[in-house]
Amino acid sequence: MKIESSVAFVTGATGGIGSAFVDELLRRGAAKVYVGGRDEGALSILSKRAPDRVVPVVLDVTSDALISAAARQASDVNLLVNNAGFCGVKGALSNDAFAVAKQEMDVNYFGTLRMAQAFAPALAAAGGGAIVNVVSFLALATLPLMGTYSASKAAELALNHSLRAELAAQKTSVLASLPVQVDTAMGAWTDQPKVSPGDVAADTLAALEAGEAEVFPGKLSRDAAQSFAADPKAVAAFLASILPSAA
């Protein structure tokens, strides 16, 4: 689909990647961008970037009531960007792993599912439109340091595949974006090189316009994907060696 003149909805819009998506959508000529997030003040600031085109929407992707209200308000959407995410940076055996895992699944997996179900009718009414799911390279290979996060992203990727198949009949395209570590607050766990949020947004939307089903945005992500395709066991073994602390 073409971004120009589209009407988009971005979840997690006030975070690093979400904010970059808003900027890139505006740069590519989106007619309107609904920006969803929990912080009303941050949403208000974000909307000032283009007051005539950016519409703030209070949203928590774990709340059925807020999602239903958002779907009613943004009934003209033809592009949904499921970007909201949570990472507790915990190993599966950490002291609070269960509580963290529940939150990661609720946001990363169930949140994506809730949003897709709520907005599918609007996308159908718009002629199909598209859904972009910001997943993670860690959906493909587990990082024990983020064991429960990896599990939630693997579930989200499986959901992405199902949505693509189920929504094909209404001509809704579904794209998975799988970046490696990104230079955001969530990526602060490592001092390794990172993909910029701008590259994630730009490469993802370019892939959407090109009709692709999957994208690894940024050179670091593309390099990781090439390494994984060449020798997935080696990549998995490397990531498995990065163990969490006992806390």
Are residues 122 and 77 in contact, defined by beta-carbon separation less than 8 angstroms?
yes
Angle, helices 219-230/232-240, rounded to nearest 10 degrees: 110
Q: What are phi and psi of 9, to 5 degrees?
A: -130, 125
Q: Is 2 a catalytic residue?
A: no
Residue 242 amino acid letter: I
Residue whose tokens read 């599966």: 92
**Catalytic residue (one of 32, 90, 109, 153):** 153
Of 151, 148, 178, which is closest to residue 244 (Cα–Cα)? 148
**Is 153 an active-site residue?**
yes
- In sequence order, what DSSP letters do the residues of 2-52 get, joined into one string? --TT-EEEETTTTSHHHHHHHHHHHHTT-SEEEEEES-HHHHHHHHTTSTT
SS3 75: coil
Structure tokens at 32: 């309107």
Catalytic residue among 34, 90, 109, 149: 149
Catalytic residues: 149, 153
